[in-house]
Amino acid sequence: MTKLSVNINKIATLRNARGGSLPDVVRVALDCERFGAQGITVHPRPDGRHIRYSDVCALRPLLTTEFNIEGNPTPEFCDLVGEIRPAQVTLVPDAPDVITSNAGWDTVKHRDFLRELTAEFHSKNIRVSIFVDPDPRMVFGAAAAGADRVELYTEAYASAYSHALHENTAPAAAEAAIAPYIEAAGEARKCGLGLNAGHDLNLDNLNYLVTRIPWIDEVSIGHALISDALYFGLEKTIQMYLQRLK
């Protein structure tokens, strides 16, 4: 079964909008674990607009599931990851001014840089995942850089799948949406890489993804899951996502 890692950035965004400590980021993370999530993901950015470096430090000694820290490998980010030593670091090439991650690495162009980073994190026993578009060349480049996993950037799949549902053109359109991801996932398996996926995954599109690519190790979901929790409650929402992963 594909594991569910809950990205709690949106909880921190809500807290930061008002100041203070409500909602409590650490409490929500521990509740996610208690309700069945198999991991917690955070994506600290330099401007601290949601998860802060102090949150990452507070979470580390309390979490009992897998901790995944994702972000752009700036010197400050790398120092944080090296200090915290999570189970996994996910390298994402997001610029400081983007609202959310919007592209994967060019692992061919940046292979030497990624190889150096990967070796450094491996020396601290941290698993390395590289965020890539669904392109077999980028997957192969991640393997050449020494990564343990790739995370497929699923925004294009989610958008096309949603269009297929609304236009009532499934299953042909749904198959077209998933096709490049199946190809990239196949390349990952061929290269001996583990496989993660994330971005815009939700209750509508998640099951089709893991049904067609059942060897996905982990999905990281934040925005949609936290939004659904406003309607269903956090515990029920996590159970609903876990059910979609079966």
Candidate list 33, 66, 70, 151, residue with the active-site label = 70
Sort 120 into a burial class: Cβ within 10 Å, 0-12 / 13-18 / 19+: middle
Is residue 70 part of the annotated active site? The answer reads: yes
**97: closest CA among 53, 43, 45?**
45
Catalytic residue of the set 33, 151, 199, 218: 199
3-244 domain in CATH 3.20.20.70?
Answer: yes
199 in catalytic set = yes
Find out whether 86 and 67 touch, Cβ atoms under 8 Å. yes
d(CA 174, CA 206): 12
pLDDT at 164: 81
Sequence ranges of the domains in the chain: 3-244
DSSP secondary structure code for residue 94 in this structure: -
Strands 218-221 and 88-91: unpaired
Question: pLDDT (tens digit, 0 to 9) for every residue of the chain, 246 residues total?
Answer: 999 999 999 999 999 999 999 999 999 999 999 999 999 999 999 888 899 999 999 999 999 999 999 999 999 999 999 999 999 999 999 876 665 666 899 999 999 999 999 999 999 999 999 999 999 999 999 999 999 999 999 999 999 998 887 776 567 888 999 999 999 999 999 999 999 999 999 999 999 999 999 999 999 999 999 999 999 999 999 999 999 999
Residue 102 confidence (pLDDT): 66
Annotation says 43 is catalytic: yes
Provide CB contacts within 8 A for 140, sequence distance 6+: 107, 187, 191
Given CA atoms 80, 83, 87, 91 in this order, what sign does their dihedral have? Answer: positive
Catalytic residue among 43, 66, 187, 218: 43
